[in-house]
A = this chain, B = another copy of it.
Amino acid sequence: MAGKFVSMRNLKFLLYEVFDTVALTRNPYYSQHNQKSFDLVLDASMKLAQKMLFPLFEEMDRKAPYLEDGQVKVHPAVRAIMKEFGEGGWIGATFPEAWDGEQLPGILHCACQLIKSSANYSAGVYAGLTAGAARLIHSFAAEHLKTTYLPNMMAGKWQGTMALTEPQAGSSLSDITTTAYPTDKGHYLLKGQKVFISAGDHDGVDNVVHMLLARIDGAPQGVKGISLFLVPKKRPDEKGRLVPNDVSVSQVFHKMGYRGAPITELSFGDKDDCRGFLVGEPNRGLMHMFQMMNEARIGVGLGAAAIASAAYYAALEYCQTRPQGRKVGAKDPSAPQIPIIEHADVRRMLLFQRAVVEGSEGLLMQCALYEDFLRTTPPEEHLKYELLLELLTPMAKSYPSEMGILSTSQAIQCLGGYGYCEDFPVEQHFRDCRIHPIHEGTTGIQGMDLLGRKVVMKEGRALALFLEEARNNIAEARSVAGLEALSQKLEEALQTLEQVTGHLVGLIGKRGVEIFLADATLYLEMFGIIAVAWQWLLQAAVAQKALQGKPKTTDLPFYRGKLVTARYFFAYELPKIKGLYQRLTDTDALTVEMDSSYFND
């Protein structure tokens, strides 16, 4: 197995050179930190990843979770991993110190997550879900729930989950039927089924805490009748002992990848004794849950980028060391073979992977930074960052997820036949990565969210803010010698985005909302490419300026590699919007107007 899975040099480039992470420490909320303490946190992440997570990457795939006597059994190391994530402060990394958290900036936490998830995506999921559930409790739950549940979750002793999907509803949350019956004892009695619940049960923790969506008996139909509940697997009785809470596992799914963590189907209240506690306001559950879902969506993009990173470095190592063939045109068959990284087509495949990985990392950190700005800027600026974050979330989720499939696939291709075999890690990366366009809202759902909600909300304000941000960065990049062409290409891409958006929004009145949204997935694809091009221009500008200064000799390959990868993105990836432009402005309503019977035969 390859030894490298992520580039610390690149993460520090993003944290300290592209984004001014250290500036956050001038704000009181983050004033206990400085670059030195940030570096220590990064080093600790890397140590955890190298010593504990990466060595288990393959084994946790091969020994997948299984159900035995109603209990999901996971790899024995999961308990130690959860303990380490708890005691090391990783679950509470962004929690306030008042709740025993580390109060770290989100952007730094993002870098740490990239390190850990690239070492072993599945292993990081347990803690990530627990942190998300804990944040939801912290934001909306009553004090007695916080004191009962948060300390155990943040210590990694209790698992947290998101329990949304139901067998008959899938992506259509308005159709969930799990019901909460009020009692006069302060709790509700829950009854229903949930499906595809990650880490929904396992023996690596002492308890599981489900953040569950259900309808209070008699609530309105549709999404306006959904409430949020905390439902533990075991509930503390009056003496504080944990007793079963009538939550049972009906199955654990056998998955193609992402096998280090279980996905479960759960049954609540089979014996009419499943107690849940309302979190937040009745019938506003979906709105509350969106806090965790948005965070989880960015987390999914992060997982995909991390897996693509690990696959890229495995492929890179192979290409640097595997001799095969000679330069095109070299005629002497007795000359020694060259490492395959010397072949142009192999470099193209590597540049593609690097462009996806580092472009995605930039976009994810950008989102994390906007979230940090919500804590460090005056309230009158919050709307701006909220809107930018809302707008960019579908791309931050979907671009790495969709491109992760292609990127890990190219990693396999770099290794040829070996890449298809279990002796190398890239086939597992390819299998692991395929989950991401599905969970936390499929790519199709993200497209509808982007075009049908985010782009049109507040009269297009979010999109206008994005264009303004990008154009400010273009103006800065234009002033850097050598970046005129890339700057101009991004400006043209933004104009394409404006044209397409105008055309599509114009369809709402002219041809109806169904035709307007028919190709929303392709609009998302186009916007994703442009958003990542924006990030590449930011990175190129920093690298170019560094090269025009007096960089250390040892830094030269890194900065030059950055620039080449940026040029690759603008030369090979950005042109893909040309075809998308043609499709998106050619509204023939093919998929809306056809009859489903045409698929017969």
Residues of A that sit less than 8 Å from B by CB: 7, 9-10, 165, 168-172, 174-175, 195-196, 221-223, 253-258, 263, 316, 320, 322-329, 333-334, 337, 339, 341-351, 354, 405, 409, 412-413, 416-417, 419-423, 427, 430-431, 434-435, 437-439, 442-444, 447-448, 452, 512-514, 517-522, 557-558, 560-561, 564, 567-568, 571-572, 575-580, 582-583, 586, 588, 590-592, 594-601
Contact = CB atoms under 8 A, between A and B. Distances in A.
Instruction: List 9 tightest A-B contacts by C-beta distance, closest first.
Output: A222-B333, A561-B598, A575-B579, A578-B578, A344-B518, A256-B427, A172-B325, A575-B582, A344-B591
A422 B256 contact: yes
Contacts of A448: 328, 345
Given A196-B417, A413-B438, 14 more contacts: A170-B322, A172-B326, A223-B333, A253-B421, A263-B417, A327-B514, A344-B514, A347-B594, A348-B518, A420-B438, A557-B600, A561-B599, A567-B590, A571-B583
A590 B561 contact: no
B578 A582 contact: yes
Contact of A521 (B168, B341, B345, B419): B345
A288 B97 CA distance: 74
A346 B448 CA distance: 13
Nearest to A516: B328
B561 A256 contact: no
Nearest to A576: B579
A413 B221 CA distance: 28
Contact of A601 (B7, B175, B575): B7
A321 to B, nearest CB: 12
A244 B520 CA distance: 63
Contacts of A221: 333-334
Given A513-B329, A590-B564, A599 B316 contact: yes
A412 to B, nearest CB: 7
Contacts of A521: 345, 348
A320 B596 contact: yes
Q: Is the interface of A mostly helix, strand, loop or mixed?
A: helix
A588 B519 CA distance: 33
Given A329-B514, A599-B341, A430 B434 contact: yes
Nearest to A517: B328
Contacts of A561: 598-601
Contacts of A522: 572
A326 to B, nearest CB: 8
Contacts of A579: 575-579
Contacts of A592: 344
B601 A10 contact: yes
Given A344-B591, A591-B345, A416 B438 contact: yes
Nearest to A588: B571
Contacts of A442: 413, 416
Nearest to A354: B599
Contact of A557 (B347, B416, B517, B601): B601
A316 B600 CA distance: 9
B513 A598 contact: no
Contacts of A334: 221
A601 to B, nearest CB: 4
B256 A420 contact: yes
Contact of A598 (B328, B518, B564, B576): B564
Contacts of A257: 420
